[in-house]
Chains A and B, each alone.
Chain A
Amino acid sequence: MSDIGTDAKRTPKRRLLVRARNLRTPASETRCDEARDSATGPQIIVRDLHKSYRKARIEIPVLRGVDLCVEAGEFVSIIGSSGSGKSTLLHLLGMLDAPDQGEILFAGKRVDSLSTRQRDRMRNREIGLIFQFYHLLPELTVLENVLMPRMIGSSIWSYPLRRREYRERATHLLEKVGLGHRMNHKPRELSGGEMQRTAIARSLMVSPKLLLADEPTGNLDARNGTDIMRILRELNQTEKLTILMVTHDTEIAAQADSTIRLVEGRVHKSRNGS
């Protein structure tokens, strides 16, 4: 893999402590625990996370005990080869799935044991998701796609009351990602980069505290990829948005503050970003 070459620097980053389970460095946990107790802001603590999938009665372990700690406002990239469990980890963080074992804490609150309804609500209100294949709804226009989280989050009665406000925000976000002129187009009329920018605008619609990006540049050419990264970095810096980005591209990963490498379902090593 191309990212092996970038493993030279292995010093743990100042604001990020990652403990691979097999290393057992008790010191790494301390900082996160302190932060959790103080509850100063959005912060993710993952402890001993296990997840396995069943395929034809054979259990395939994907995550075998992941521990990590992300502080508020951090831009972290997760890299790893295919099957290393990085997407699964992101899905668990995004509460699209429930872990078999272990805990996930958002701002000191356990979220892995929430009910489906609460998880739906949390995902809608507090987490923005970006995917490699954009995942826009083809029947809706760009603007409607961006409004979607709000539509889902509000009832049929409350939505029309605040419709104007929502539309203004959506328009503002689209202008910010440079798509003000494309609002009434259908996704199929957009280029890949434009679709991904729409997806970013959508993820920001509800002003989340956490943005999870699953290979956001994986399907884009270098120029568009750079664009997306620039937007993400900007969001991280201006809005203090916590961003977790999964990628297999070390160059992209290097643009994050810090990088976590997953190997065979465990956090293998971490290093400082560029």
Chain B
Amino acid sequence: MYKLLLAWRYLRSRYIALASIVSVTLGVATLVVVNSVMSGFTTEMHKRLHGILSDIEFSGSGLGEIHDVDGHLADIKQILGDDLECASAIVRVPALVHQQFHGRMITQQLMLIGIDAETYGKVSDFSPYLLAEQHRNQPAFDLLESGYDERLGDEAGWDYRRRYTQFQREQRRLMNEAYGISGDSGVVENLDESAFVESDDESSQPAASGVVFTPLPAQPPVIVSDGETSIDSPPRVVTSPPSGNDPFAAARSREQGHIFDPMVEQHPGIILGVALSSRKFHDPETNEVREVFIDRPGDDVQITLPSSGTPPRPTAGIFTVVDYYESQMHEYDSTLAFVELKELQRLRRMIAPDGSASVTSIQIKLRPGADLDEAHRKLVAAFPPDVYPYQIQSWRDVQGPLLAAVQMEITILNILLFMIIAVAGFGILATFFMIVVEKTRDIGIMKALGAPNGGVMSIFLGYGLSLGIVGAGVGIVMGLLFVGYINEIADVVELITGQEVFDPTIYYFNKIPTIVNPWTVCWIALGAMAIAVLASVLPARHAAKLHPVEALRYE
């Protein structure tokens, strides 16, 4: 009883000891914050990595193709049984995108993915990362009238496309006038696609297409008549007309009476990774992060990609940007672009004469709760790598090194921070020795009143424990408050120092993600208390061993 009472009284009357546990408090608070932020980052990353990737990818190794997709899907379904929730076939091919920015061509490399918008959304998160709300609800490759992210302002959608086309036509007309070309009815299209020589394909497939791009302004613009289409007519999606190297294609297309009008028509839609189009930078004048878009939904871009077959030939197509994809994982946002599967198959000539098309990979989503490794093992067993040219990877395999690195980082950070608390433990040790010396006479008194050695020892152990509890408790409260207001704190620090604490251009997180794991907090608290108790063991033993007579004489 007296042990508790005295430990409590010492706690309340010895502020120096409370000062000594400030380091424990700070250590605990730091641990809580670091763990919360790290687990926030990890979880967010896991979620994104996993969301973007399907559970298992069954691919034909790089550009290798999987023929007879339906047969493979049936096999996979049979192998996985109930574990299979959904599968989606995709074509993934490295490509180049050519964007026009202030009259110049920017060429960037990307990974072009042909998807079936309906099934792809089921195997992995796709639509939640689109900028237009309508596309988030119903992913499609159609340009929308409006309703894009507010970051894009009014400069997105059909309205923008019309205005831009109008502007280009006006420019062209002025130029023609200046050069004395009688182009009163001249049409200069969005990406000047009139400069492309469209040619027919050898194959009789009406759907298969390919566009050979001739860079502007190597040829004078082909001036075509304005046609009968009006702005008010509903937007039409046209696939590129049959192409090839037929020099008469353009003429024939005109004969067919179709003239592409960017005022009302769009090319096949493409959804670009946002970092392919957006540039974030610090404005040196205002010192704020500004975002600039190279192109906008409604602009046309040119894609060059290798065709199927050996050796691959470069093929090109024009696409209209219909949306952006922002997963906030820079790796993906800066490399991925999505088009419709059929369109890509057509462009790459992956469609066989009988109408069946090949793909480069099949994305598999497992039923929630299914054993990923087990499913993976089954698939590998059914398609042994020494027989089949297929690569079967779970999402963890794909991102394994990154996940392992992050885990390692967390572990090391935790060890280092616990070292800090251990250092604080030595502070407690020193303070406690001081207090024991100061209390020597009191210890003598208690022994004179019959307190056993163990009792005296437990006073100081209890004191250490209560200091640990106070230190850990305050630390946890501080840490949790810090975590709760971390973004506000970052803002304040930014305001004071003028240095950006959390740079969204680096992380692509607008806010610092945090997750407080109650177990982690528990372990941190227990660890801190254990260290405080351990630090008080030596002083407590010293106190217990004091000789009562000598202790009483101590002045």
A interface residues with partner B (beta carbon < 8 Å):
91, 94, 96-97, 116-117, 120-125, 129, 131, 135-140, 144, 148-149, 151-156, 159-160, 202
Contact A159 B451 (CB under 8 A): no
Q: Determine the interface band of chain B, counting residues with CB < 8 A from chain A.
A: 20 to 34
B485 contacts the other chain (CB 8 A): no
Contact B549 A140 (CB under 8 A): no
Minimum CB–CB distance from B441 to chain A (whole Å) comes to 7
Chain B 449-468 interface 0/1 with A at a Cβ cutoff of 8 Å (1 = within): 11111010000000000000
Given the complex of chains A and B, what is the CA–CA distance between A68 and B381 in angstroms? 97
B470 contacts the other chain (CB 8 A): no
Q: Which residues of A contact B264 (CB under 8 A)?
A: none
Most buried by A among B3, B441, B442, B445: B445
Given the complex of chains A and B, what is the CA–CA distance between A192 and B4 in angstroms? 28
Contact B452 A117 (CB under 8 A): yes
* Residues from 70 to 111 in B contacting A, C-beta threshold 8 Å: none
Contact B451 A135 (CB under 8 A): no
Known: A97-B548, A152-B455. A140 touches B9 (CB 8 A): yes
* Residues from 448 to 507 in B contacting A, C-beta threshold 8 Å: 448-453, 455
Minimum CB–CB distance from A66 to chain B (whole Å) comes to 17
Contact B5 A91 (CB under 8 A): no
Contact A154 B1 (CB under 8 A): yes
B548's closest neighbor in chain A, by CB?
A96
Other-chain contact of B449, A97, A144, A152 (Cβ < 8 Å): A152
Given the complex of chains A and B, what is the CA–CA distance between A124 and B451 in angstroms? 7
B161 contacts the other chain (CB 8 A): no
B interface residues with partner A (beta carbon < 8 Å):
1-6, 9-10, 13, 441-442, 444-453, 455, 547-549, 552
Minimum CB–CB distance from A88 to chain B (whole Å) comes to 8
Contact A148 B444 (CB under 8 A): no
Given the complex of chains A and B, what is the CA–CA distance between A152 and B13 in angstroms? 21
Q: Which residues of A contact B4 (CB under 8 A)?
A: 156
Given the complex of chains A and B, what is the CA–CA distance between A202 and B548 in angstroms? 18
Q: Which residues of A contact B10 (CB under 8 A)?
A: 139
Contact A152 B446 (CB under 8 A): yes
Contact B549 A153 (CB under 8 A): no
Contact A159 B549 (CB under 8 A): no
Q: Which residues of B contact A124 (CB under 8 A)?
A: 449-451
Can you identify 15 A-B contacts, CB atoms within 8 angstroms? A96-B548, A96-B552, A97-B548, A116-B452, A121-B450, A129-B449, A131-B552, A135-B552, A137-B442, A139-B6, A151-B5, A152-B2, A152-B449, A154-B1, A156-B3
Given the complex of chains A and B, what is the CA–CA distance between A120 and B456 in angstroms? 12
Contact A97 B448 (CB under 8 A): no
Known: A148-B2, A151-B2. A139 touches B13 (CB 8 A): yes
Minimum CB–CB distance from A138 to chain B (whole Å) comes to 7
A97's closest neighbor in chain B, by CB?
B549
Contact A149 B9 (CB under 8 A): no
Given the complex of chains A and B, what is the CA–CA distance between A116 and B453 in angstroms? 9
Q: Which residues of B contact A96 (CB under 8 A)?
A: 447-448, 548-549, 552
Given the complex of chains A and B, what is the CA–CA distance between A156 and B2 in angstroms? 8
Known: A97-B548, A137-B445. A144 touches B450 (CB 8 A): no
Contact A156 B6 (CB under 8 A): no
Q: Which residues of B contact A123 (CB under 8 A)?
A: 448-450
Q: Which residues of B contact A140 (CB under 8 A)?
A: 5-6, 9
B12's closest neighbor in chain A, by CB?
A139
Contact A138 B442 (CB under 8 A): yes
Given the complex of chains A and B, what is the CA–CA distance between A96 and B546 in angstroms? 12
Q: Which residues of B contact A144 (CB under 8 A)?
A: 5
Given the complex of chains A and B, what is the CA–CA distance between A57 and B3 in angstroms? 37
